[in-house]
A = this chain, B = another copy of it.
């Protein structure tokens, strides 16, 4: 438990391995980097020496010598980080970290202060970072345009204003349409929606999907109320929907958290789910299985999204041709609130 390691022996270097194996530094470097043109006998001897001294390459030296950074930054705008009470953030990070674990890139994280954005920008442009991932509620923020001229960047979610940036997203519109179609197929004819904010791409896309499905079946699409993706806003929207006094037997909610809010109001009024009103949510987060009856919802594969973002970023860094927009497939999880 000696936390003081001031006097600890320094980490073994390439040089030491070379000396032990009786070869040159260059040869050890070749072995470490899997350069094929090394005699197998020699390579074996080197590998043994590496194990013997427990050698690990020094990343700083490597980065310096090769003239390229070996880390990738995940940026979370400060305002966004405050809102992350949902598992979205943790899951994206998880996906990203899992993918990068198998590469030579290290993941670092930055909370981008809105007060001094130059600080983050300087960090990114200082040549210390090979690329960046942005997880933001205001995806595609124009403020990153300048940065993305210099280093590869990949965004989580479709930017509100498409600007040629690389991003990965789920097909919110198609998924919402599918969810609504389930309601229609279940025989529901008065289908409302609690939509998300219309200044966020998922908010816009999900309501459009709902509308598409209704139009395709010639159903009424006037039963719309808006929330802000929070539980309480979902409850309020549900109340407003009910106060309209119109018939209502199906409900598509733009995320599970608002659906949980809607549930409380429905329960209050003694409206049965799914008997009186069938409900479909979106995201398949912890709320979906927390509520009773369990929520039928669209599964949003966030970890996969993180993985894909990392994959695309690495491809970009290494100059591989890559599609600018990537859609991750969703699936409808049928539980008890609609089927």
Contacts and interface: CB of A to CB of B under 8 A. Distances in A.
Interface of A: 1-6, 8, 10-11, 54, 56-61, 63-64, 67, 69, 71, 74, 76, 81-82, 84-87, 89-90, 93-94, 97-98, 101, 106-111, 113, 119, 122-123, 125-128, 145, 148-153, 163-166, 231-232, 260-261, 264, 267, 285-286, 289-290, 292, 316, 319
A126 B56 contact: yes
Contact of A290 (B8, B122, B260): B260
B127 A3 contact: no
9 contacts: A1-B165, A11-B125, A57-B126, A58-B127, A81-B90, A85-B286, A89-B90, A101-B119, A261-B290
A155 B87 CA distance: 22
Given A56-B125, A108-B71, A128-B56, A5 B101 contact: no
Contacts of A107: 108-110
B126 A85 contact: no
Contact of A81 (B82, B94, B165): B94
Contacts of A11: 125-127
A98 B126 contact: no
A281 to B, nearest CB: 15
Contacts of A151: 5
A119 B56 CA distance: 11
Given A3-B166, A90-B90, 6 more contacts: A11-B127, A54-B122, A58-B127, A93-B109, A101-B110, A101-B113
A8 B150 contact: yes
A57 B267 CA distance: 60
A107 B106 CA distance: 10
Contacts of A152: 3
A285 B153 CA distance: 33
B64 A145 contact: no
Contacts of A69: 60
Nearest to A98: B111
A31 B67 CA distance: 25
A131 to B, nearest CB: 9
B2 A149 contact: yes
Contact of A60 (B1, B64, B89, B261): B64
B101 A111 contact: yes
